[in-house]
Structures are given as structure tokens and as C-alpha cells.
């Protein structure tokens, strides 16, 4: 084997290696492009999910505000009823006291 032939074999080997590296580089480029597209799609889906969650929480917050408003109304009614009961109890005590003073027997 001559030096020229050996040099040619080495050059052919480097040429083939360069060709294979180019193919590998092209494959990595395709993989990179695909991953970039997936990343964009995932970002978009996460954004959609975040929007949906926010919308859900906003709706729940609105419902809770309505429940709070209704509970405030119920509290007002309970306070009104409680005041009326206090008034009735006060009147009942007064009537009982008056009945005792007048000698009228009380009915339990």
C-alpha cells in the first residue's frame, strides 16, 4: 500500500464521517424543530388551562359573593326575629307581673 492510497483512504474516511455528521446534524435539527413546536403547543395549552382555571375561580368568587349577600339578608332577618322574641318575652314578663299584682292566676 502506498502513501497516496493510504491518504486517499483517510480522506475518504473523513469525507464519509463528515457526511454522517451532516446527517446526524440534520436529524438533530429536525428534533429541535419538533421540540420547539411541542414547547410552543405546551405553552399554549398551559395558557389555555390557566385561563380556564382563572375563569373557574372568578365564577366561584362571584357565587360566594352572592352567597355572602344572601347570608347577610338571613342574618338581618334572624336579628329582626330575635328582637321581636325579646319584645314578646319582655311583654310576657310585664303581663305576668301585672296579673300577679291584680291577683289573676297565671296559666302555664
pLDDT at 64: 96
d(CA 91, CA 4): 127
Distance from the first to the final alpha carbon of the chain: 131
pTM, two decimal places: 0.48
pLDDT tens digit sequence for 58-101: 999 999 999 999 999 999 999 999 999 999 999 999 988 998 88
* Residue 106 predicted with pLDDT over 90: no
Backbone angles phi, psi at 83, to 5 degrees: -65, -40
Cα three-residue angle 27-30-35, rounded to 5 degrees: 125
Amino acid at each position: 500500500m502506498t502513501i497516496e492510497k493510504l491518504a486517499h483512504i483517510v480522506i475518504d474516511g473523513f469525507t464519509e464521517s463528515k457526511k454522517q455528521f451532516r446527517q446526524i446534524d440534520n436529524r438533530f435539527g429536525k428534533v429541535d424543530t419538533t421540540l420547539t413546536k411541542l414547547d410552543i403547543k405546551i405553552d399554549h395549552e398551559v395558557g389555555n388551562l390557566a385561563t380556564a382555571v382563572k375563569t373557574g375561580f372568578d365564577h366561584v368568587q362571584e357565587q360566594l359573593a352572592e352567597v355572602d349577600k344572601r347570608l347577610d339578608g338571613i342574618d338581618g332577618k334572624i336579628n329582626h326575629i330575635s328582637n321581636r322574641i325579646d319584645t314578646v318575652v319582655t311583654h310576657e314578663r310585664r303581663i305576668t307581673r301585672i296579673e300577679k299584682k291584680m291577683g289573676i292566676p297565671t296559666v302555664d
